[in-house]
Amino acid sequence: MLHQALPGRFDLTTEAYQALEKLLADGKVRAIGVSKFMPDHLDALLKTASVVPAVNQVEVHPYFTQPAVQAADAAHGILTQAWSPIGGITSYRGTGTSTSTFDDPTITAIASAHGKTPAQVMLRWHLQQGRNAIPKSVRPQRIAENIDIFAFQLTPAELDAIDALNTGTRGGPEPEAITLEAFCRDIPEA
């Protein structure tokens, strides 16, 4: 997966993606994808790409849902894969509000109504809306909890209520702020 686009030097982004296409052609990997690509980055990539990325891994949780990115992914047949899918970034980095997704009253109310946890409600929301989600936990009990989301169903009104929590405030870095000056690292092995 290409971790991010380099908007100011998209030629380097294209070159890096071509390396992924070669890995795929050589049978070294089964699928290739991108991460944090905005709609204009996808358009630019697909001008030269011979393989459509399997996934676009982007920040999606109830407080930041990126509907335009999800629509662009869908239009190109790319699966949206949600990082920080249960809003980890809202608690470990903070969004400027004191509320984390785990304590959000809308989410905790829906969780209580189904006898589920807030994490399970958020993961079910992704599942029902057709996204792939990659929650992280170091605790076996939570890992088991996070996969146990197949025996209940959120209503359309509950899905809408979670969608309405979108603040439009990104937790991760702005994709346009990714520059060589700020992020360039030498990789001697490369």
Ligand X SMILES: NC(=O)c1ccc[n+]([C@@H]2O[C@H](COP(=O)([O-])OP(=O)(O)OC[C@H]3O[C@@H](n4cnc5c(N)ncnc54)[C@H](OP(=O)(O)O)[C@@H]3O)[C@@H](O)[C@H]2O)c1
Residues that bind ligand X (CB under 6 A): 35-36, 57, 83-89, 92, 102, 117, 119, 134-139, 142, 145-146, 172
**Closest distance of CB 26 from ligand X, Å:** 24
As a whole number of angstroms, the distance between CA 91 and CA 75 comes to 32
Nearest position to ligand X, beta carbon: 88
**Closest distance of CB 19 from ligand X, Å:** 18
**Closest distance of CB 22 from ligand X, Å:** 22
As a whole number of angstroms, the distance between CA 15 and CA 13 comes to 5
Nearer to ligand X, 61 or 158 (CB): 61
**Closest distance of CB 12 from ligand X, Å:** 18
Nearer to ligand X, 19 or 25 (CB): 19
As a whole number of angstroms, the distance between CA 93 and CA 119 comes to 18
Please give the torsion angle defined by the CA atoms of residues 83, 84, 85 and 88, in that order, rounded to the nearest 10 degrees. Answer: 170
Nearer to ligand X, 100 or 158 (CB): 100
In 10 A of CB 31, how many CB atoms? 12
- Measuring CA to CA, which residue among 116, 117, 109 is closest to residue 161? 109
Instruction: Name 83's Cβ contacts closer than 8 Å, sequence gap at least 6.
Output: 35, 57, 58, 59, 60, 134
Nearer to ligand X, 50 or 94 (CB): 94
